[in-house]
Amino acid sequence: MLMVRHIENGTVIDHIDAGKGLEVLKVLGGAGDTTIVLAINVQSKKKGKKDILKLENKFLDKDKMDLIAIISPNTTINVIREGKVVEKINAEMPEEINGVLKCINPKCITNAPREPVTTSFTVKKNPVMLKCKYCSTEFPADMIQLL
Amino acid sequence: MWDRRHVISIDDFSREDIEDVLKNTAKMDEYLEKGNVPELMKGKILATLFFEPSTRTRLSFEAAMQRLGGTVIGFSDPSATSIKKKETTADTVRMAAAYADVIAMRHPYPGAAKLAAQVSSVPILNGGDGSNQHPTQTLLDLYTIKKELGTLDGIKIAMVGDLKYGRTVHSLCTALKLFDATFKFISPEQLRMPDTYKRGLTYEETTELDVSDADVVYVTRIQAERFPDPAEYEKLKGFYVINKKVVSTMKEKSIIMHPLPRVDEIHYEVDSDPRAKYFKQAYYGVPTRMALIAMVMGAI
Ligand SMILES: [Zn+2]
């Protein structure tokens, strides 16, 4: 196992599809001032190769876990407190996602300034596609943009 | 179930919903024919909010409301209203909902009708939101087929022209799927029906204009701006023209439809053929919208 910084408190996002680690980091809103370790193409018994992302002193809410599942299904999220894994969560793909993503259609009413509207997308599987509930535009997971 | 319902997208309609609308449209059609329309909307007001102009759709909604004994307020030129002063669509709709009992709206931005439904205290009838949805057009198309051919079940429909950008043909696919129709998509390579609308359909796809086996020939306009090269457009547009010769290959009991306005994709010589139904189709917009207004107002 690759030697990476051990964290006392925070989140380890494991079993990310190889090559998707950067995208996961992007939907988490980048590093900010969090200490982050990203390992790419790590050997894995389960899936050959995988990416791992460690976030020090940072814990994820449901919205963020939903986004991770959309980008890389079958990802495991480990919550670490005082050096121990206190919770292991299998990120599950949500059926819909509200309020965190932007519609890629620039003409969509959800992109119009000052309209009182929250974005809302239906998530379809195999392949993963998002469909805007307002303008009906469909787009693949790798095109998602944060609000 | 229909009372106070918004009509936003044909995707929200089940087969039963569509059959309900068609049944009531037939009733309205008959009232109009006999000249004895009941004043179901007497004392009621329809607001037509046209954030983008569309004379045909607006007049059709207004005629429908007036035939039912109701009155109409509204605007058809947003530049002359507060929209220009940057009032939001949501606020304009809320204001109209305070003045009227039902709203018909058209908007250049896709998704605007759904937003309107969320903020409106009265039913919204979507008269087209950008490239997205135009459910009353789809319902009048379905009524035309049902009335002229007697059924929607198992029909074979040939769609001709711009199938990539044509909102009307996309919605018609979605609706006719519920009736086990079979489809023939006839278009230039560049303007093929997108995969997302073909999912789950029985269809064939071709660039050849062969409509000899179709019960319905649904023609759409190919627009020059879809082609980067004007010469390419000039070459292609001639291929997808319905003239007398093409019509002579069609089945005797079949119909030609077009959402209008047409330019030269259907020759004027075809207008007198009994299979040409596009003007009747436009007329059916009135009984269809009468039925929808009366239904969402709980009057039938
Ligand atoms: Zn959208």
The domain spanning residue B291 has which CATH number? 3.40.50.1370
> Using 50, 70 and 90 to split pLDDT, how confident is the model at B82?
low
Same domain, B127 and B203: no
B3 within a domain of the structure (yes/no): no
B127 within a domain of the structure (yes/no): yes
pLDDT digits (tens, 9 = 90+) for B138-191: 999 999 999 999 999 999 999 999 999 889 999 999 999 999 999 999 999 999
Answer whether residue A4 shows pLDDT above 70.
Answer: no
Which residues of chain B lie closer than 8 angstroms to A105, CB-CB? 110
A109–B196 CB contact, under 8 Å: no
Helix (H) / strand (E) containing B183: strand B182-186
Two tokens, residue A31: 């590093």
Same domain, B26 and B148: no
B109–A108 CB contact, under 8 Å: yes
Of the candidates B231, B277, B283, B233, which has an alpha carbon nearest to the alpha carbon of residue B258?
B277
A135–B111 CB contact, under 8 Å: yes
Other beta carbons within 10 Å of A122: 15
How much is the pLDDT for B83? 59
Which residues of chain B lie closer than 8 angstroms to A110, CB-CB? 111
Answer whether residue B77 shows pLDDT above 90.
Answer: no
For chain B, which residues lie within 8 Å of any Cβ of chain A, measuring from their own Cβ? 9, 11, 86, 88-90, 107-112, 114-115, 118-119, 129-133, 196
Provide mean pLDDT across the span B8-34: 97
Same domain, B115 and B223: no
Q: How many CA atoms lie within 13 A of A135 on its CB side?
A: 23
pTM score of the predicted model = 0.91
Same domain, B72 and B51: yes
Q: How far is CA B100 from CA A125, B44, B73, B167, B291, in A?
A: 42, 7, 8, 29, 18
Answer whether residue A29 shows pLDDT above 90.
Answer: no
Q: Over chain B, what is the mean pLDDT? A: 95
B85 within a domain of the structure (yes/no): yes
**Per the omega criterion (within 30 degrees of 0), is the bond before B135 cis?**
no
Same domain, B77 and B121: yes
Same domain, B232 and B117: no
Helix (H, G, I), strand (E, B) or coil at B43: coil
Query: What do you get for the CA distance between the two ends of chain B, in Å?
Result: 11
B226 within a domain of the structure (yes/no): yes
Please give the distance, rounded to the nearest whole angstrom, from the Cα atom of residue B223 to the centre of ligand 1.
24
How much is the pLDDT for B84? 60
Number of Cβ pairs closer than 8 Å across A and B? 57
Angle at A10 between CA A143 and CA A95, to 5 degrees: 40
Same domain, B113 and B195: no
Same domain, B57 and B104: yes
Same domain, B145 and B122: no
ipTM: 0.90
Domain holding B49, by residue range, is: 10-133+284-296
Closest partner CB to A109 (pick from B86, B112, B131)? B112
Same domain, B147 and B243: yes
Provide mean pLDDT across the span B233-253: 93
B1 within a domain of the structure (yes/no): no
Active site residue B206: no
Same domain, B159 and B272: yes
Answer whether residue B114 shows pLDDT above 70.
Answer: yes
8 Å CB contact between B50 and B58:
yes
How much is the pLDDT for B80? 61
Strand pairing category for B102-107 and B124-129: parallel
B4 within a domain of the structure (yes/no): no
B224 within a domain of the structure (yes/no): yes
Chain B: give the shortest CA distance to residue A118, in Å: 10
Same domain, B126 and B222: no
Which residues of chain B lie closer than 8 angstroms to A115, CB-CB? 88-90, 115
Please give the distance, rounded to the nearest whole angstrom, from the Cα atom of residue B121 to the centre of ligand 1.
23
Structural domains in chain B (count)? 2
Helix (H, G, I), strand (E, B) or coil at B295: helix
Active site residue B67: no
B2 within a domain of the structure (yes/no): no
3-class SS string, chain A: CCCCCCCCCEEEEEEEECCCHHHHHHHCCCCCCCCEEEEEEEEECCCEEEEEEEEECCCCCHHHHHHHHHHCCCCEEEEEECCEEEEEEECCCCCEEECCEECCCCCCHHHCCCCCCCCEEEEECCCCEEEECCCCCEEEHHHCEEC
Strand pairing category for A145-146 and B156-160: unpaired
User: What are residue A63's phi and psi, to 5 degrees?
Assistant: -55, -45
